[in-house]
Structure formats: C-alpha cells, structure tokens
Amino acid sequence: MKLLRPGAAGAKQPGGALDAHPETRIVNVQIQTLVADTRAALNSEGELIGDPSTTTPRFELFSAASSICSQKVRAVLAHHRLTYLSHMMNLFEGQTYLPAHVRLRMLGCKQMGTKLVDRHTGSTSVASGGGCDAAVVPTLVDWDAGTVVVDSKRICRHLDEAAVADGARSLRPVHLAAAIDAELDIIDNLPNYQMLSGKPPGEDRRPPTQRGKNGVDFAMGKVERCDRYLAEFADDEVLVRGYTAKRAKELSAAQQLFTEERMQEAYVTAEAACQVLERQLQAAKSEWLLDDRLTMADLCWGIELLRMGNMGADIFWKDDKRPAVAAYAARLRELPAVQSAVVNWPGALFS
Ligand SMILES: N[C@@H](CCC(=O)N[C@@H](CS)C(=O)NCC(=O)O)C(=O)O
C-alpha cells in the first residue's frame, strides 16, 4: 500500500476527465469541492489500496474500520481487485457527521431518490429503514461516472457492475440476482446496531470494549452531536435537513431500540435468520449458498457471521448447534476478500 497525494504535481486530479459531459461536470465540480473539504476536515490524503501504479484511482471510499456496511463494500472492492483511494472515519468520534461529508452524502441521497430516514428500525436497510442517512458511511465517489453513491447494497452493485464492464465475472449473475438480493435483504435487516450497542438478554458475551454498554448513551451522544451542528449551521438548509433527520432517527433509537423487550426480539430475529440459513445450507447442492461460484450473498454472509461471532452470538451455531452455519462461517472467514476487508483490516473487529 502506498500513500497517494491527489494534489501532487503531475498527478491528474480525480474527476478531472469529464469535459465531454458538461451536465455531469457541474455535479462533478461540486463533488470535487465536497471531497476536498471532507479530506481536509479529516486531515487525510487517503491511502491507495490496490494497484500501486495507479495515479488517478476511479474510486474513492470513505469508510469506517468496524462498520459492517463499510466492510461489505471493502470486500467487494477486494474481491474484484479494484483500486481505490481509502479514507478512514472514526465512528466513535463522530467523523461521519463532518459537515462536508454530510453535504456530500446529501447529494448521494438526492440521487438515490429516497427521503431522509428519521426513525430507527434497528437495521441498516434503506428500504425497510425508511430512507437515506446523511451522517453514516460507507460513501463512494466514482470519479469516472461523476457520482457519489450511498448505501452499501447500491455501492456493492455499482462496483460489481463496474468490474463486470471491465471483464470480471459478476458476483451477482443475472440468473441469480433475485435470490442474491433476497439474501442481501435478510442480512441488511438484521439488528446489527442493537447487537453491537445494546445489552444482550442473558450473559453479555460482547468483547470487552463493548461489554456492559446499553446503546442509549451511544445514541444520545449522536443526538447531542446533531444538536451542536444544528446550532452551528442553523442557516444552512441542506445541513439542517440532514442533521434534523439524523437527530430524530437516533432519538428514536435511544428511546425504543434498547429496551429489554426489543433486545430480546433482536436476538430472536438474529437466531431465526441463522436457523433459516442452516436449513438452506443443509439443502444446498452447490459449493456455496446459491451457486458453485461465490456470490455477493456469500461475501455479505461472511461479514455478517464474523460480526455476530465477534459479538459472542456464535452461540447460535457453535458446539454443533447449527453445524452447516458453523462450517460456512469458518470457510467464509478464510476468503481473501474477507481477510483483507475485515480480518486483517486494522480495527475492523472489536477487541
Ligand atoms: N444503509 C446504509 C447504512 C449505513 C450505516 O448505518 N452505517 C453505520 C455503520 S454500519 C454508520 O456509519 N453509523 C454511524 C452513525 O450512525 O453515527 C448502508 O448500508 O450503507
């Protein structure tokens, strides 16, 4: 891995080659400014991941080490060996709320065409969660297309399509697309926020850095962060919309998600998903869950099962409880893309 200085003499600026499409170029200039502001706020020049000879990587990714949504995107990038400029954000220091980043995502949310999410269902899904969140990661910039892409599921598909256009084999082949999407929806709807931040029913098996936490303080910290930004940027219509929706979402999380009853429900949901997976794996006649070739569903399950294991929820499949899930989780963990996006990515697993 090599440090790349996008502004260095002789280096072509990402996003500079869009002269043929004036309409796109206007958006692109806006993206360029917001990306430059976000980099400056993070004090990050970015780290080039992939081919070290690349001077103008097509993709630029803002992600967080431990974010499960970011991990899925990094795994697809790694699987397809796509080169990108990576900027890391610290979720616990609230870096995803930086105004330039929120403005950047507001462009992506607009392009996605969904409203801003203002309540928390416990899942990270845009479809069932009620919309787009302007203060989270991952955020992908595609300099060739002149777009900012938000939502991990959309980003993974976008990257897969880009790789396929370059001759790669798809992780989401057309004949399996519906089945893969159904798996991605199941995974996207799992209560990862609750299992990471809330107190589990019974013994707290989370790693020491998370153990004992009840979720409410974390969510209220986000509400307070939004309040500070709302006071500071009261005249900025775009930021006010972004932070107001996020504030409402996290307030609903603090008030509703982490009660004993909701935490019980979350664990029941997660275990039920493992039971469905066990049955599917037992019945599968293919090498992987849906095919003889690895699909996006396998990659995302790999990341989900690693997270569950990291939170101590591997009791759902350990000790012969669900042997097919246990074997699948162990196999997925060894995939080079999962190793590089999570297992060997500094800070990706909680200790
Ligand atoms: N639907 C979005 C959800 C993204 C999301 O919820 N990201 C979380 C980490 S997995 C985040 O950045 N949280 C920071 C916060 O809410 O403060 C996606 O899949 O990309």
The fold for domain 176-215+258-343 equals: Glutathione S-transferase Yfyf (Class Pi); Chain A, domain 2 (1.20.1050)
Cα angle 77, 78, 81; round to 5: 85
Query: Which ligand 1 atom lies nearest to the CA of residue 138?
Result: 20
Q: What length is written for the chain?
A: 351
Q: What tokens does 279 get?
A: 């049955």
224-241: b or e for each residue (b if 16 or more CB lie within 10 Å)?
ebbeebbeebeebeebee
CB of 152 sitting under 6 A from ligand 1: yes
Neighbour tally for 34: CB within 10 Å: 21
What are the residue ranges of CATH 1.20.1050.10 in the chain? 176-215+258-343
- Name the closest-CA residue to atom 9, ligand 1: 67
Dist. CA 137 → ligand 1 center (Å): 5
Using DSSP's 3-state secondary structure scheme, residue 161 falls into: helix
Exposure of 336 in the CB half-sphere (CA atoms within 13 A): 5
Give this prediction's pTM. Answer: 0.93
State mean pLDDT over 206-214. 97
CB of 222 sitting under 6 A from ligand 1: yes
At 125 the pLDDT is 83
Residues 61 and 86: beta-carbon distance below 8 Å: yes
How does the average pLDDT of the chain come out, rounded?
92
User: Max Cα separation, the chain?
Assistant: 61
Amino acid letter for position 158 = H
DSSP state, residue 339: I
Asked if residue 19 has pLDDT above 90, the reply is: no
Dist. CA 159 → ligand 1 center (Å): 18
CB of 348 sitting under 6 A from ligand 1: no
What does the pLDDT look like over 65-82, one tens digit per residue? 999 999 999 999 999 999
Spatial distance between the Cα atoms of 98 and 229, rounded to a whole number of angstroms: 9
Residues 118 and 133: beta-carbon distance below 8 Å: no
CB of 322 sitting under 6 A from ligand 1: no
Asked if residue 89 has pLDDT above 70, the reply is: yes
- Name the closest-CA residue to atom 6, ligand 1: 124
Q: Report the CATH architecture of 3-89+137-170.
A: 3-Layer(aba) Sandwich (3.40)
At 26 the pLDDT is 53
What does the pLDDT look like over 214-252, one tens digit per residue? 999 999 999 999 999 999 999 999 999 999 999 999 999
